[in-house]
Amino acid sequence: MYRDQELTIRPIIESDLQRIWELIYKDEQPEWKKWDAPYYPHCTKSLHDFMVTAQQYINQKDFWAIEVNGVICGVISYYWENEPSKWLEMGIIFHESANWGKGLGTRAMTLWIDHLFSTMPLVRVGFTTWSGNIRMIRVGEKLGMQLEAKIRKVRFYEGVYYDSIRMGLLREEWEARKVCLKELPIK
Per the structure, the complete domain to which residue 163 belongs is given by 2-183
Alpha helices in the chain (DSSP H): 17-24, 47-53, 104-119, 134-142, 171-183
- In 3D space, the residue among 115, 158, 124 whose CA is nearest the CA of residue 144 turns out to be 124
What is the predicted pLDDT for the residue at 105? Answer: 96
> Which regions in the chain score pLDDT beneath 50?
187
Residue 174, Cβ density class (10 Å: 0-12 exposed, 13-18 middle, ≥19 buried): buried
pLDDT of residue 38: 83
State residue 123's pLDDT score: 97
**The total number of structural domains that make up the chain:** 1
Which CATH number covers residue 96? Answer: 3.40.630.30
pTM, full prediction: 0.92
Amino acid type, 22: E
The pLDDT, as a whole number, for residue 87 is 96
Give the type of residue at 21. W
